[in-house]
Amino acid sequence: MKIDFKGFFKKPMAVISIVLSVGLVFTGISFKKTVYIDVDGTTTKVTTYKGKVEDVISDIDLKLETEDSVKPKLTSEIKNGQTIKIKRAVSLDLIVDGKTVVIKSAADSVKDLIESKSMSKKLQSEKISPIREQDKIEPTLDTKITSNMKVIIKRIEKKNEVTQAEIPYSTEKVVDDSMYKDDKEKVVVAGKPGIKEVTTEVTTEDGNVVATSVIGERVIEEPTNEKIAYGTKEKVVPTVNVPSRGGNIPYKSKLTMKSTAYSSSDKGVTGITASGMKATRDPNGTSTVAVDPRVIPLGTKLYIEGYGYAIACDTGSAIKGNKVDVYFNSVSECYSWGSRNVDVYILE
């Protein structure tokens, strides 16, 4: 079919339709818009005929760095009255795994920085392991990012250590009916510590131990408690009857000894005992006697049958072994005493 273009353009309404259509197209293309460019809080009003964010930014010769943040994104269509927000990236130091890495970011907070793709790429390029949930981050995640700040990552590790430890034994005292009250206590069952396995959770921060916590124990060997026996029996203290002293007196032990007598009147006797005391005979008090110190130590208090109270403070060349030489004031008393066997009581 053949179209009559020459006749078509001769019609007035047709020409008007074409002109209006072309005008509308050009008007749509060249529609003027007003947008606001906000760079780090400073806003500039811009009139543009551009259609996309990146074209407007290029048109006003605004230089961007890769790390800068642009919202909406560069490829977005712009709308009249819209605000385009640009946040300039700042440099900061990331300290992690013994390294200091300079990173540029337009993140608002430490949390945003840690979760950003730029952070992930930087860690990969520096061959640094990703930041994990358990790692410690300083400053806190809600801290605002500022230029030249330091963000420190401390690696937190937890591991379990298994060790062995002693379980202390307790001491129990038990009565031994065969023992006296003043007998020395004795161990009847020796105590022995037990053994347990201890599991400890050790927390380290960049390799340094910062916390330990026992999370489990298992008994390997129970302890053996120590038992110590003690006595309750009352010891019967032996006594000797001393009528002159009004009854019985206690003593530690009794010896039957051969007894002789001497006096300061005897030849060679000075009247001063070997211990430096004056030789004394006091029937109502304490007299001095000579003994063998190997049998009865000097200074021992005695009660001698038929003689009375005495103190061992002298020695003699003839007094050897189981002998006691009692002192009298006169030779006649010595003769009267003679030589006899007597019971010698070692007093308490």
pLDDT of residue 26: 44
Query: Residue 24: pLDDT above 50?
Result: no
The pLDDT value recorded for residue 277 is 93
Distance (Å, whole) CA 118 – CA 120:
5
| 341 close to 322: Cβ distance less than 8 angstroms | no
Domain ranges of the chain: 33-87, 90-154, 159-230, 239-347
Residue 334 has pLDDT above 70, yes or no: yes
Percent of the chain scored above 70 by pLDDT? 90
Per CATH, domain 33-87 is 3.40.50: no
Dihedrals phi, psi of 29, to nearest 5 degrees: -70, -40
Return the CATH class of domain 90-154: alpha beta
Check for a shared fold between 90-154 and 159-230: no
pLDDT grade for 247, boundaries at 50, 70 and 90: confident
Task: For the domain made up of 159-230, give the CATH fold.
Answer: Resuscitation-promoting factor rpfb fold (2.20.230)
For the stretch 145-202, pLDDT in tens is 999 999 999 999 999 999 999 999 999 999 999 999 989 999 999 999 999 999 999 9
Euclidean distance between CA atoms 123 and 182, whole angstroms: 80
Residue pair 215/181 in contact (Cβ under 8 Å)? The answer is no
- The CATH number assigned to the domain with range 239-347 reads 2.40.40.10
pTM of the model: 0.52
Dihedrals phi, psi of 271, to nearest 5 degrees: 90, -5
Residue 1 has pLDDT above 50, yes or no: no
pLDDT at residue 19 is higher than 50: no
Mean pLDDT score, 209-236: 95
CA-closest candidate to residue 314, choices 257, 266, 267, 262: 262
Q: What is the mean predicted confidence (pLDDT) over 278-302?
A: 95
